[in-house]
Amino acid sequence: MGAYLLRRLLLVVPTLFGIILINFAVVQFAPGGPVEQMLAELRGEGQTLGRLTGEGGGEVRTAQPSAFGTGGGGEGGPVGTYRGARGLDPAVVAEIERAFGFDKPAHERFLTMLGGYLRFDLGRSLFQDRSVWDLVIEKLPVSISLGLWSTLIIYLVSIPLGIRKAVRDGTRFDLWTSGVVLVGYAIPGFLFAVMLVVLFAGGSFFQWFPLRGLASPGAADWPFWQRGLDYAWHIFLPTLTLVIGGFAGLTMLTKNSFLEEINKQYVLTARAKGAEESRVLYGHVFRNAMLIIIAGFPAAFIGILFTGALLVEIIFSLDGLGLLGFEAALRRDYPVMFGTLYIFTLLGLILQIVSDFTYTLVDPRIDFEARR
């Protein structure tokens, strides 16, 4: 197993390189990059996206460039509106391109970015004048909270429910729970979130739950138990939204996995020998049926943590990683885009290796080093 894990860890490097290279190449063809957005701002056509001074085509102040340029900041004031009749001074355009690092060819910018990633230097945001690491660390607790609690509750609900449905396949219990699962699967998560806001967060009916953040004002000074209750109060509706949208697929996967194993010959043999049903179910069937469930855990966690929570974070005003990545993509904040992509991909690859290791814990018969 050690040699297998070592090979998998070594494969992380070329996999990361390939993913970042492909995304970098695709981004080069995307219209409306950060330079274009800043030029639109200086013409008065866009929203304020950075801290540059361009009053009447005047000075553009920047910090030192990183792989894609600077954090946009310096000691200058907010962006001024360009007041020329039309166009911009070519010197101003050239200065903006230099500040964002787009005066260099694409391959040079890519190599500079990779060099930073090898040192775990993700660069600085083009428009917020902060390092990508600072932004990620600031947003990470919100997304981790949503991802961990949602994934834990989904598994705690879906696996027992799926096993029960498999054991009682075709009964009334199986039919009405299938209806509940179908409704949960059919309703989009963001729509369910809006419904919860309208019903329970002061939308039109009740004001039972808060709508912003994960803590009340001044909660940092409260006792530990009171802060814990306040945290649970804030995170209840967002977590419920993700659980409702995510438990349906895992429930049916668990049911089908157990049904497949229950009908195999070794189960019939165990029952014929007089083994108790609980021993047959949890001593023989469970270990084999759970393999596919374990295999899907990394994808489920990553999906909830980095994609499924995006709209939930927006609706419930939770400032997490999903919202950070979404805003970076809209604003073409390339250091934040590629920095979060690098972190997400690295975490996903490591979790996949952890999943393979968990395979051997569930079923010691599995040997990843075996060769035919």
> Is there a domain that residue 295 lies in?
yes
One domain for residues 81 and 158: no
One domain for residues 43 and 186: no
Nearest CA among 5, 21, 34, 17 for reference residue 328: 34
Question: What are the structure tokens assigned to 166, written together?
Answer: 């498999």
Nearest CA among 199, 302, 296 for reference residue 241: 199
One domain for residues 157 and 90: no
Q: What pLDDT, on a 0 to 100 scale, did the predictor assign at position 73?
A: 38
One domain for residues 55 and 186: no
One domain for residues 121 and 153: no
One domain for residues 63 and 138: no
One domain for residues 267 and 171: yes
One domain for residues 61 and 173: no
Is-contact 60 90, C-beta < 8 A? no
Phi, psi (rounded to 5 degrees) for 32: 75, 50
> Is there a domain that residue 364 lies in?
no
One domain for residues 126 and 137: no
* DSSP three-state, residue 58: coil
> Is there a domain that residue 190 lies in?
yes
> Is there a domain that residue 28 lies in?
no
pLDDT tens digits for the chain (372 residues)?
A: 677 778 888 888 888 888 888 888 887 777 666 666 666 666 665 443 334 433 333 344 344 444 444 334 333 333 333 333 345 566 666 666 666 666 677 788 888 888 888 888 888 887 787 888 999 888 888 888 888 888 888 888 888 898 888 888 888 898 998 888 888 778 877 788 888 888 888 767 778 888 777 878 887 788 888 888 888 888 888 888 888 877 887 888 888 888 888 878 888 887 787 777 777 777 778 777 777 777 667 667 766 766 666 778 878 878 887 778 778 887 778 888 888 888 878 887 887 787 777 777 666 666 666 654
Nearest CA among 50, 43, 56, 89 for reference residue 70: 50
* DSSP three-state, residue 281: helix
Identify the domain boundary among 97, 115, 130: 130
One domain for residues 236 and 299: yes
Q: What pLDDT, on a 0 to 100 scale, did the predictor assign at position 33?
A: 67
* DSSP three-state, residue 208: coil
> Is there a domain that residue 4 lies in?
no
One domain for residues 54 and 185: no
One domain for residues 116 and 169: no
Q: What pLDDT, on a 0 to 100 scale, did the predictor assign at position 87?
A: 57
Q: How does DSSP classify residue 274?
A: T
Between CA 41 and CA 102 the distance in angstroms is: 18
123 residue type, one letter: G
Question: For 51, what's the count of Cα atoms within 13 Å in the CB-facing half-sphere?
Answer: 14
> Is there a domain that residue 47 lies in?
yes
Is-contact 267 261, C-beta < 8 A? yes
Residue that the structure tokens 């355009």 belong to: 93
Q: What pLDDT, on a 0 to 100 scale, did the predictor assign at position 115?
A: 85
> Is there a domain that residue 311 lies in?
yes
Number of domains in the chain: 2
Structural domain harbouring 311: 133-331
The C-alpha R_g of the chain, in whole angstroms, comes to 26
- Number of CB atoms found within 10 A of residue 316's CB: 25
Identify the domain boundary among 95, 112, 130: 130
Q: What pLDDT, on a 0 to 100 scale, did the predictor assign at position 72?
A: 40
Q: What pLDDT, on a 0 to 100 scale, did the predictor assign at position 1?
A: 66
> Is there a domain that residue 241 lies in?
yes
CATH number at residue 289: 1.10.3720.10
Continuous H helices in the chain = 2-28, 34-42, 90-100, 106-118, 132-167, 172-186, 189-200, 224-262, 265-272, 277-279, 286-295, 297-302, 310-315, 321-331, 334-362
- Number of CB atoms found within 10 A of residue 125's CB: 28
Between CA 126 and CA 106 the distance in angstroms is: 17
